[in-house]
Amino acid sequence: MPGPNIGKLEQFWVDHHAFLERRGYRLRPRFDPAHVPTRESVKWYQPTPPFPEDEIISLRPAVLDAVRIVDGLTVVLRKAATWSDEVPILRRLNELQSDPRNRIVPVLDLILLPDSDEHVLLVLPLLHDYFDPPFTSPEQVIDAVTQLLEAMQFLHEHDVAHRDFCTYNLMLDPSELFPEGFHVALPRLSPDGQTFGLNFRNRADVSPAQYFVIDFGLATQLPYRNSWATGVFGADKTVPELSWETPYNPYKVDIYQFGSVIMCDMVEVYNGLEFLRPLAEEMTQTDPNRRPDVDASLARLQEIVRHLPAAELQRDIWPVNYTPMLSFTSRPRRDCCG
């Protein structure tokens, strides 16, 4: 039975604690079967810190952070179903690292489980929501959109449709932006769960962010570029053509989903990004036949950028109309990050 502060779906990690340690990955103390919780009742939902680490229940129990024992690197462990296309897609695409457009999350290791052949564990780098901390200039937004469109182009050229190219599957490398780290289960908290409001660096003060596409659990390896599919998948429920009965072009679904990201996460959230509205509107047209493919979307973005004055790319922008879905990290109370 799960312990008093372990969610039912988290028990998997308790059961595999010793096995993973032998494989070279150390889980947080709360997943040690011998761990004694701070309190009997779970208080992970309390509104203000401190949050005792052993009371923070993961909202995504199939994903957990761990420490790679050999070098102390924090990594992410993700359960992946062996019956899906996810593992073969990731393994194949990870072999194509010479292509600079390959922004697919790298697989650092693959762990076969001792008691099941229905799942494997993917060892992945620790990444962070792509939109956090906030963008501070149009140039940064353009770079993010370009990298992610190039990632989609790379996928489509290799006959892979992601089918969930949505906000929370788009990530960035946080190593320079969050040098003190963050808690994987609740990323607005410090790694130990004791502090709300992380110290972070401004995007303008570090190297340009590197963006990645994650979660290929719904992705499909198609036999050729013009393949069709069925199914109602993905976080964006506004895609008009999704159906279990009528086939549709899954590549155009990726286009719609990312067009919605550009519109809802960028154009309608920040001041000064109206120049991206025409692209987002073209990508989210109701008729999929009227949407551009990924090559045309990239060309349209480049055309838009060519007509922007240099000063426009460097101007200050800030969020003015965001929702709780885009929860930005609080500003630092002290300047410890340079």
Query: Residue 159 belongs to a domain with what CATH number?
Result: 1.10.510.10
pLDDT band at 113 (very low <50, low <70, confident <90, very high): very high
Does residue 81 fall inside a structural domain? yes
Q: Is the pTM of this model over 0.85?
A: yes
pLDDT band at 338 (very low <50, low <70, confident <90, very high): very low
Does residue 138 fall inside a structural domain? yes
Q: From CA 200, how far away is CA 330, in angstroms rounded?
A: 9
Is there a single domain that holds both residue 136 and residue 279? Answer: yes
Is 212 within 8 Å of 172 (Cβ atoms)?
yes
Neighbours of 295 (CB within 10 A): 12
Is there a single domain that holds both residue 217 and residue 277? Answer: yes
Is there a single domain that holds both residue 242 and residue 304? Answer: yes
Is there a single domain that holds both residue 76 and residue 150? Answer: no
Q: From CA 173, how far away is CA 326, in angstroms rounded?
A: 18
Is there a single domain that holds both residue 214 and residue 274? Answer: yes
Is there a single domain that holds both residue 80 and residue 159? Answer: no
Does residue 282 fall inside a structural domain? yes
Is 196 in a helix, a strand, or coil? Answer: strand
Is there a single domain that holds both residue 232 and residue 292? Answer: yes
Please check the confidence at residue 194 and state whether its pLDDT lies above 90: no
Does residue 99 fall inside a structural domain? yes
Please check the confidence at residue 4 and state whether its pLDDT lies above 60: no
- Confidence at residue 184, expressed as pLDDT on a 0 to 100 scale: 85
Is there a single domain that holds both residue 245 and residue 118? Answer: no
pLDDT band at 331 (very low <50, low <70, confident <90, very high): very low
Render pLDDT for 57-106 as a digit per residue (tens, 0 to 9).
666 778 999 999 999 999 999 999 999 999 999 999 999 999 999 999 99
Domain of 68, in residue numbers: 20-27+62-126
Domain of residue 84, CATH code: 3.30.200.20
- Confidence at residue 257, expressed as pLDDT on a 0 to 100 scale: 98
- Confidence at residue 200, expressed as pLDDT on a 0 to 100 scale: 86
Q: Calculate mean pLDDT across residues 222-229.
A: 89
Is there a single domain that holds both residue 139 and residue 122? Answer: no
Is there a single domain that holds both residue 78 and residue 222? Answer: no
Is there a single domain that holds both residue 222 and residue 265? Answer: yes
- Domain count for the chain, please give it: 2
Does residue 106 fall inside a structural domain? yes
Does residue 34 fall inside a structural domain? no
Q: From CA 313, how far away is CA 302, in angstroms rounded?
A: 13
Q: Residue length, the chain? A: 338
Is 227 within 8 Å of 250 (Cβ atoms)?
yes
Render pLDDT for 22-61 as a digit per residue (tens, 0 to 9).
999 999 988 999 887 766 544 444 445 556 666 666 667 7
Render pLDDT for 267-320 as a digit per residue (tens, 0 to 9).
999 999 999 999 999 999 999 999 999 999 999 999 999 999 999 999 999 999
Is there a single domain that holds both residue 213 and residue 270? Answer: yes
